[in-house]
A = this chain, B = another copy of it.
C-alpha cells in the first residue's frame, strides 16, 4: 500500500478518472506552466472562446523565458527584416533551419513555422511586444546589449550554411537595453493573458494527469497551498512546464554528456516534471539526448579570429559557426577537450572568464607548454597562416572577416576544456508533438486531450541550435497548442 501511495505521488503515475469522486475545479483548457509557451497557449485558447485556467508552480509567471535574452528566431520577410533592408523568404529560412537543426530535425514543424513566421511577428507586435527596426552588424555580435532589434543569431553566414541557403539575419530581439529582454517579452505576454480573461493560479504545482479509460486526458492533480486539488479539463490539458536540465537523474539517464557542463541554464522548474507527466499518460519523449551547448569564448568577437584545437593540436571546425553549434561539437564530438589559440594581436580577455592554459613566444613553445604531441599544432598554425595571408581558410572555410595570420608573439591558449571552462547548456528533448501541439505516443497516435509546447517538447531543433529558437518554439507552438486544445471536442458530458 505504501508503495502504491508513493506511485501516486509521482508525475508519471497518472490518476484514473474513475478514481476521482469529485472535481474541485474545472475549465475548458488547463495550461500547466506560465512561461512563454503557457502564456501563448492561454492567450490563444481564450481567444478561441475557451474558459482557460493556468496553473503555475512559482509565485508568478515567467519561467525560463523571463530569464532569456529576449530573442526570437523569425524570418521569411518580417517587417523588421524589410525595414532593415534584408530580403528573406520562407523557403530560404526552411532550407537553413533544416540544415542547421539536423540530423533528425522535425521538418514538418520547421515548414509549418517558416510559412507562418511573418504572421507570428504581427501577432507579437499586436500584443505590444516591441522590436526596434535597427540592425546590429554581425561583426559586432549576435546578442545585442543595446536595444537593436535585428541580428544574426545562427550560422547563416558560415560554411557550409551560407552555400545552402541565402543568408538573412533572423534574430529578433525584443527592444530593451541590456541582455534581459525576455523579461519584457514575458511582461507583455502576461498582460495579454490577463486581458484575454484566462485565470492564473500561482503556487500551483501540478502533480500528475488524470486520464479516463479511453486514454483521454481529462484533468490534472495539483497541489495548491498544500492541498490536493483536482482540476477537470473539459477540452484539454496543455503541458508547457519546460525542459529537464535541473533533473540530475534525467540528465544521467538520457543525456549523460551534459554532466560535463558547469552551467545549467533554466529556472528551478526545469526538472522535467511536465515531460514525465506526459510520458505517464502515454506520450513519447524523443531526442532526449539533444541539448544546446555554448562555450562562450567570444565576445569579444575578435577571438573568432583564433583557432579552436583539440589536444592533438588539430582544428576541427570553422570558428565562425554559431556559438551553440561550436559548443555542441566541442562537447559531443571533441569530448569537451578544446583550446583556443590566439596571438598577441587578437588577444583580449573573453567576457566570460577562461583560464589561460599556456603561453609561449613561439607556437613550438606553446605546443610544448600545452603538453601537446610535437609538431601538430605547429603544422596547424603554419597551414592556417599560409591561407590567411591570402585571406583564405582552405581547410575549414572560415569566412574572411575572421581570418588574420597568427604571427604576433607571444601566443596563448585559452582553456576551453569541460568542466573546467564554462559550458552552458539546456535540454532540447521532450514530448513528441505534432505541429498542432498534439502529444503523440510511441506508435504515432495522439493522446486525446493532451497538448504540449516549448521545452516540454522536442521542438524544431533536434540538434544544432540557433538563438531565438526556444522562444519561437515556445511562443509559436504554444499558440497552436492552445488553439488545438480549445478546438478539441472534449469531455463535455
A residues near B (Cβ < 8 Å) are: 4, 6-7, 10-13, 16, 18-19, 102-104, 213-215, 249-250, 252-254, 256-257, 259, 272, 275-276, 279-280, 282, 284-289, 312, 314-315, 332-334, 373-376, 379, 383, 394-396, 432, 441-445, 462
Closest to A259 in B: B103
Distance between Cα atoms of A441 and B104 in the complex (Å)? 26
For residue A253, which residues in chain B have a CB less than 8 angstroms away from its CB?
A: 104, 284, 286-287, 432
Distance between Cα atoms of A103 and B418 in the complex (Å)? 14
For residue A257, which residues in chain B have a CB less than 8 angstroms away from its CB?
A: 103-104
For residue A282, which residues in chain B have a CB less than 8 angstroms away from its CB?
A: 12-13, 279-280
Distance between Cα atoms of A375 and B380 in the complex (Å)? 10
| CB-contact partner of A376 in B287, B288, B395, under 8 A | B395
For residue A285, which residues in chain B have a CB less than 8 angstroms away from its CB?
A: 442
Asked whether A443 and B10 contact (CB < 8 A) given A287-B254, A395-B312, the answer is yes
Distance between Cα atoms of A376 and B383 in the complex (Å)? 8
Distance between Cα atoms of A121 and B203 in the complex (Å)? 56
Most chain B CB within a 10 A radius of its CB, from A19, A253, A442, A444: A442
| CB-contact partner of A7 in B7, B215, B272, B374, under 8 A | B215
Asked whether A445 and B10 contact (CB < 8 A) given A288-B288, A312-B396, the answer is yes
| CB-contact partner of A12 in B16, B396, B443, under 8 A | B443
Closest to A253 in B: B286
- Determine whether the beta carbon of B12 is less than 8 Å from that of A275: no
- Determine whether the beta carbon of B10 is less than 8 Å from that of A280: no
Interface of A: prevailing SS: loop
For residue A103, which residues in chain B have a CB less than 8 angstroms away from its CB?
A: 256-257, 259
For residue A214, which residues in chain B have a CB less than 8 angstroms away from its CB?
A: 4
Distance between Cα atoms of A214 and B441 in the complex (Å)? 21
Distance between Cα atoms of A486 and B448 in the complex (Å)? 36
- Determine whether the beta carbon of B383 is less than 8 Å from that of A462: no
Give the Cβ gap from A202 to chain B, nearest Cβ, in Å.
25
Give the Cβ gap from A70 to chain B, nearest Cβ, in Å.
31
Closest to A279 in B: B442
Cβ contacts A to B, 17 pairs, < 8 Å:
A10-B443, A11-B443, A13-B282, A13-B445, A103-B256, A103-B257, A104-B252, A253-B286, A279-B441, A280-B441, A285-B442, A288-B288, A314-B314, A332-B332, A373-B383, A373-B395, A376-B383
For residue A213, which residues in chain B have a CB less than 8 angstroms away from its CB?
A: 16, 18-19
Give the Cβ gap from A102 to chain B, nearest Cβ, in Å.
8
For residue A276, which residues in chain B have a CB less than 8 angstroms away from its CB?
A: 442-443
For residue A249, which residues in chain B have a CB less than 8 angstroms away from its CB?
A: 444
- Determine whether the beta carbon of B442 is less than 8 Å from that of A275: yes
Most chain B CB within a 10 A radius of its CB, from A10, A18, A102, A104: A104
Closest to A251 in B: B104
Give the Cβ gap from A474 to chain B, nearest Cβ, in Å.
22
Distance between Cα atoms of A276 and B282 in the complex (Å)? 10
For residue A287, which residues in chain B have a CB less than 8 angstroms away from its CB?
A: 253-254, 289
Distance between Cα atoms of A103 and B374 in the complex (Å)? 29
Closest to A443 in B: B10
For residue A284, which residues in chain B have a CB less than 8 angstroms away from its CB?
A: 12, 253, 279
| CB-contact partner of A256 in B19, B104, B275, under 8 A | B104
For residue A102, which residues in chain B have a CB less than 8 angstroms away from its CB?
A: 256
Closest to A256 in B: B104
- Determine whether the beta carbon of B288 is less than 8 Å from that of A443: no
- Determine whether the beta carbon of B12 is less than 8 Å from that of A441: yes
For residue A334, which residues in chain B have a CB less than 8 angstroms away from its CB?
A: 333
Give the Cβ gap from A163 to chain B, nearest Cβ, in Å.
16
Closest to A462 in B: B256
Distance between Cα atoms of A215 and B7 in the complex (Å)? 10
